[in-house]
Amino acid sequence: MIAPILARRSATGFWLATIMTGIGTGLAAAALTGLLEFVQQAMWGGDGLDILHTAAKAAPWRHIAILAGAGVLIGASQMAITRLSSANSIDISTAIWFQAGRLPALRTLASAVLSVVIVGMGAALGREGAPKQAGAVVANTMADHARLSDEERRLLVACGAGAGMAAAYGVPLGGALFALEVLRGALALRFVLPALVTSLVATGVSWAFLPDKPLYAIPAFHGSVSSMVWALFAGAAIGSVSVVYVRAVARADRNKPKGWWRVAAPVAVLSGLGALSIPFPQLLGNGRDVAELAFAGGIGPLLLLALTLLRPVATVACLGSGAPGGLFTPSLAFGAMLGGALGWPWSILWPGVPPGLFALLGAAAMLAATTQGPISTIVLMMELTGYARAAMLPLLLVVATATLVARTIEPRSIYDARLNDDQVRDRQRTRDRTPDDPG
């Protein structure tokens, strides 16, 4: 049972573990972000975390050399991690649902560091995977020290993972909701306060080292009848496409290379990505730069269409090669490209909607559909962009429509890719019997 108030004597250990998880996760997120920035600047040059403009100016041989090096690093590191740690790799969602949140600490942290390094080198995966893993490990360690029950540990690990995202991206409320809605699978009242405390503490700690500003700078958008009608049709289309994407992620995860192919596959895939990134530098990294460019209406229709096809292929290929990394920001970037591409013909039929608004709504729809977390998606988009309520109605409409279509067709989210059919059914039964009551 999760103790909801501090007055209960049994709650002391749990709440102390919650605060310590927030502190440890905030420090880990800041350290991992610093490592990412160091690697990216060492490989590509430039300032901050902007990989697009520096990569676009780099010599062609540099693209192939850096990405091939990332492939070698992935293969060598994966073999080394396997030999150093006898514990099997385990996904955070799988750990929360079926292992009461227990994770192999050394292997999980090694995977987190590796993912940050290769994303800095240009792998088309997200950087949020690393702080999520670190937060989950910190939470699991705190649960051991506090001798928490399985239910308390499960919640704390979800909160730690959500706090990792919150600290890395400066989204305390969105990170808390992500922890509950997407990872824990329940927005029960007794879960809300621990999630908020963990994310608040982690974000507060990280702000001592990281900038406190929205991740994406966007223009001021305003809703309209045209954008609402488009949101209805586009939401259904994006929800359907998201199912294909989620299933491709699941297939790639199930068919990761084994044996010595674990060394050869990432070298081949990442070298191919390096070659493709010469004409399309927008494929490199987690996609933050290209998404922000789409939000500003700075990408033409033909390039939008090309990136709509190439970005998800690059992400799935990297994942399938055995490269560790997140899927949140790549999915957001994919949605931005798809939304922008769908908006281009609509703007001819019914002019007046800014191109960047199509991209913003598409990003939100894809995130909601692939994570199956509509509430956390809306809050995250508001925090990530500093987005106001001006175009809230089309945002709500596109998110609700995309999520409804995706859930109707496919019960898995991108975070459930490793679950087999029986595990998905067990998880759904557990979700269905998680009401907002004690226990």
Q: In 54-85, which positions are buried (b, 16+ CB within 10 angstroms) versus exposed (e)?
A: bbeebeeebbbebbbbbbebbbebbeebeeeb
pLDDT at 87 over 70: no
- The two structure tokens encoding residue 60: 């062609």
- pLDDT of 280-301, one tens digit each? 999 999 999 999 999 999 999 9
User: What pLDDT was estimated at residue 258?
Assistant: 85
What amino acid occupies position 397? Answer: L
d(CA 19, CA 4): 15
Residue 170: helix, strand or coil by DSSP? coil
8 Å CB contact between 136 and 31: no
Label residues 265-292 b or e (16+ Cβ within 10 Å = b).
Answer: bbbbbbbbbbebbbebbbbbbbbbbbbb
Sign for the CA dihedral angle at 413, 380, 123, 91 comes to negative
Residue with the larger pLDDT of the pair 275 and 253: 275
Model confidence over 149-191: pLDDT tens digits?
A: 998 999 999 999 999 999 999 999 999 999 999 988 887 878 9
Q: What is the CATH number of domain 11-206?
A: 1.10.3080.10
What is the torsional sign of CA 194, 199, 205, 208?
negative
**Tell me, what amino acid is at 267?**
V
Tokens of 48: 């901050």
Distance CA 321, CA 78 (A): 11
pLDDT average, residue stretch 119-124: 96
How distant is the alpha carbon of residue 311 from its chain centre?
15
From the list 127, 169, 164, 175, the residue with the least C-alpha distance to 377 is 175
Q: What is the pLDDT of residue 330?
A: 96
CATH 1.10.3080.10, the chain: domain bounds? 11-206, 225-431
CB within 8 Å of 414: residues ≥ 6 apart: 245, 246, 249, 327, 331, 370, 371
Domain with residues 225-431, CATH architecture = Orthogonal Bundle (1.10)
Confidence check: pLDDT of 37 > 90: yes
Return the amino acid letter for 338.
L
What is the H or E stretch that residue 121 is in? helix 105-121
**Contact (CB, 8 A) for 401 and 232:** yes
Ranking 194-203, 274-283, 329-338, 417-426 by mean pLDDT, the lowest is 417-426
Q: Does the pLDDT of residue 410 top 50, yes or no?
A: yes
From CA 153, how far away is CA 361, in angstroms rounded? Answer: 36
Residue 88 predicted with pLDDT over 70 = no
Q: What is the pLDDT of residue 432?
A: 58
Tens digit of pLDDT for each residue in 342-379? 999 999 999 999 999 999 999 999 999 999 999 999 99
Separation of alpha carbons 410 and 245, rounded Å = 11
- Which pLDDT band, with edges at 50, 70 and 90, does 436 fall under? very low
Altogether, the residues listed in the chain come to a count of: 439
67 pLDDT higher than 70: yes
- What pLDDT is attached to residue 434? 47
Q: With pLDDT > 90 as the criterion, what percentage of the chain qualifies?
A: 70
Please, which residues bridge with residue 326 across strands?
Answer: 126
Residue 187, pLDDT score: 79
Residue 247 exposed, middle or buried by CB count within 10 Å (0-12, 13-18, 19+): middle
pLDDT at 438 over 50: no
Q: Is 170 left (phi over 0), alpha (psi -120 to 50) or beta?
A: left
Beta bridge partners, 126, equal 326
Query: Per-residue pLDDT tens for 204-219?
Result: 999 999 888 888 888 8
Tell me the pLDDT of the chain averaged across its residues: 89
pLDDT of the residue at 185: 82
